[in-house]
Amino acid sequence: MTHTYNITGMTCEGCVAKVSYLLKQIPQITNVAINLDKGQADVTMSSHVATPALQDALKDYPKYKLTEENAHHAAPVNVFENQPEVAKSWAATYKPILLIFGYISAISLITAMWGDGFSGMTFMRVFMAGFFLTFSFFKMLDLKGFAESYAMYDVVAKKIPAWGYVYAFLELALGLAFALNFAPLYVNAFTAVLMAVSLLGVLQSVFNKKQIRCACLGAVFNLPMSTVTIIEDGLMIAMSIAMIFMYL
């Protein structure tokens, strides 16, 4: 069964992700589809859940107010708007991140081959610079939304919400450090530790099969948490460790 509720207080995609996550913590809730523009949520349940129980799930975030939809004032139904959403393919779902990795890889490859043969060190350094600068850019577009989404799964941000804000600026700093080749040994060591900590939360979410959004590209794109995120973080760790050994 599916019921529609009005929810106020949502201002960004980060809010949407948080409300959806909180409601899904109720065992009977199987799916939550939120329309940010309308301020409505279609909640699918395996068995009926009383409205007070839904409101209780949001109690730690007072700005979100959930009420039952007023059937007497419901807007006319648009049959085209209510058509079931076509499931996206894997490639379509991850198109943004695949394009970003493709562009960064191409630029890194060209730079690494410029001069006397291919340089693996240059490739990895430029790749890391492009990765952190690009990903921090998307996080900065909606810093609050990113921080709220990140706090849903990151082991540090769960306990210290401000860590999400700090993390975005750390990525920016790392991107600049790799671009300038600043203190490479220390920067790579710090990167390996930072990404390893980030990976812990990702692994917990994926292995526990939690349906939450990956905040790697901030709150701009709605990318699901999956093994793609694990590979992304793992690749950064592997490159950092590889460059550490090259510098030693």
At residue 75, the pLDDT reads: 45
End-to-end distance of the chain based on CA atoms, in angstroms? 61
Cβ 145 vs Cβ 218: under 8 Å: yes
What are 180-186's contacts with CB under 8 Å, separation 24+?
Answer: 181/125, 184/125, 184/243, 184/247, 185/244, 185/247, 185/248
pTM, rounded to two decimals: 0.72
Render pLDDT for 113-150 as a digit per residue (tens, 0 to 9). 987 889 999 999 999 999 999 999 999 998 988 998 89
Residue 87 has pLDDT above 70, yes or no: no
Q: What is the pLDDT of residues 188-203, one digit of tens each?
A: 999 999 999 999 999 9
Residues 6+ apart with CB under 8 A from 58: 19, 22, 23, 64, 65, 66
Determine the Cα–Cα distance for residues 224 and 194; give it in Å rounded to an integer.
Answer: 21
Residue 178: alpha-carbon gap to chain centroid: 23
2-73: in CATH 2.40.160.10: no
Rounded percentage of the chain residues whose pLDDT exceeds 70: 92
Q: What are phi and psi of 213, to 5 degrees?
A: -85, 140
Query: Domain coordinates of the chain in residue numbers?
Result: 2-73, 90-247
Q: How far apart are CA 140 and CA 173, in angstroms?
A: 13
Per-residue confidence band for 72, with pLDDT thresholds at 50, 70 and 90: very low
**Residue whose entry in the numeric block shows the structure tokens 């913590």:** 25
